[in-house]
Structure 1
Amino acid sequence: MQIASISNPTLPPRAGFVATLGRPNAGKSTLLNHLLGEHLALVSHKANATRKQLQLIVPYKPLNAQIIFVDTPGIHHQEKLLNQYMLSQALKAMGDCDLALYLAPVSDDIRHYEHFLELYQGKHILLLSKIDTCTNEQILCKITQYQRFSDTFLELLPVSVKRGFDKEMILRTIASHLPFSPFLYDEELLCNVSLKEIYKEMIRQSLFENLSDEIPYEADVVIKTFEEGAEQDRIFAHIIVEKSSQKGVVIGKGGSGIKRISKCAREKIQSLSTKAIFLKLDVEVYKGWSKQRETLKKIGYDFTL
């Protein structure tokens, strides 16, 4: 469904940050890409693929609103430093947001939502996601279970990206709960990060898409050089892994793995760019990088931010 493109200038502007929260693989990034209409948030069936906050800016003109969705890592608890960093990103989004969306897959035990309520007591909308995986009777049963929390959430909305959902209704519901405020970003912006960071995420998604079963989620990407030209962007990046055996898996027999990842990544980047794309990928071993605070900081995961 197309969002109405005619704004209502007689309405006072609304704007606010909307934290998108849930357990790993709840469908947060997939939902946001559909609401934005662009593929900017990393989507992977591998748990904990999202590492950092990403702000995606969606206008809703009928209510003269600017919705700033904050994509976050899944709420989970593990001892590794990388996991601690990811949880800190989700908790920070909770503290900074004007409104939260909590995605609860219809198959989830309700105790996960109860845990969320222990962490966050603010305004939120509960989205019952992945309803295409259940029968209507099962969906109604799950909605009934959540009704005992009706005094904690503003709305309960069942959604399925695969089956299709009412994008207009969801955006209107979210916008109606935002504070009255001037717009916080330029109306032409789609997100708050650089092209370099977006390209990095597209390379990382290509890695997971092609080698998700063989490579642990700790694999990452570091862009060593990014050269923007008038007609071509040149990207030189390293895929980093923790073990030499993982490096061999990424490269593949006769270089087949790295070629497949490069082709996939280049196509994703090209779909977003009007310029030609040159991409050169190498693979490096950073032993134990996900457990080392200084190494994490060097590649972009700064606990002090």
Structure 2
Amino acid sequence: MTDQLHSKARITDSHCHLDFPDFNGELDAVIARAHAAGVTRMVTICTKARNEPAVRAIAEAHDSVFYAFGIHPMSVADSPQISLDELLTVAAHPKCVGIGESGLDYHYTAESAAAQQDSLRTHIAAARQTGLPLIIHARAADDDMARILTEEYGKGAYSCVMHCFSSGPDLARAALDLGFYLSMSGIATFPKSQDLRAIFAAAPLDRILVETDAPYLAPKPFRGKRNEPAYAIHTAEVGAEIFGLSLPDFAAATQANFDRLFTKAADYRRAAA
């Protein structure tokens, strides 16, 4: 029965890193395995400005792959602050469908907190101006993250997904209250993630996405191994359990959510159909 449910499920991996060296020499096979597992689309994420050409090339070479452009908060201290104009220029590409990932990481790079906050506000401005969703990385910075997202929303609406959400319930509520989305990664499948699963269970189904964050955070039963987009279906299995749905129904709901948030990707596929 599980194999039959898998065969009916169609899902989008809303966040992965296909340009990372972990996939060197086998990217075509990785994408083929994703398709075989029911993954219809992937969004590969740029984390450094100098990597944008390589990330863009992957999206251009594969019909099912889109990309997002931004500067990861852990990279902010190592590179010049990106400008709004730079973000807007890249965002005009037909397959660039999101802004980020941006955000705050005080766990590893608290010393650059001020620069991270400046960068985040620039990314928010780009999301607001382009209408593309902001993709947020948040670690050990819940209070500042909720404050900045809320402050900036007061200056003008924008859309957003909290990528690989693993923060606390207060940040989840702040994001949901702003109309934002929470993305479920392999962390939600780990045995000790009961509190995180409870946060997802309390969220509206129509605000949930699924991702791998590949090559990181492989879900059960692949924990500890290199992650890849095909494994998104295993995170979706846990999501279906959380919401009391069949796997195909949960996957379909997250597909609809992706289309609603990543409208440029949805429009691209419809135009190509």
- Superposition TM-score tier, normalisation by shorter sequence: 0.3 to 0.5
Normalised to the residue count of structure 1, the TM-score between the two structures is 0.32
TM norm structure 2: 0.35
Compare the two structures and name the one with the higher helix fraction.
2
Highest relative contact order (Cα 8 Å, sep 6+), 1 or 2?
2
Question: Between Structure 1 and Structure 2, which shows a larger proportion of strand residues?
Answer: 1
Larger radius of gyration: 1
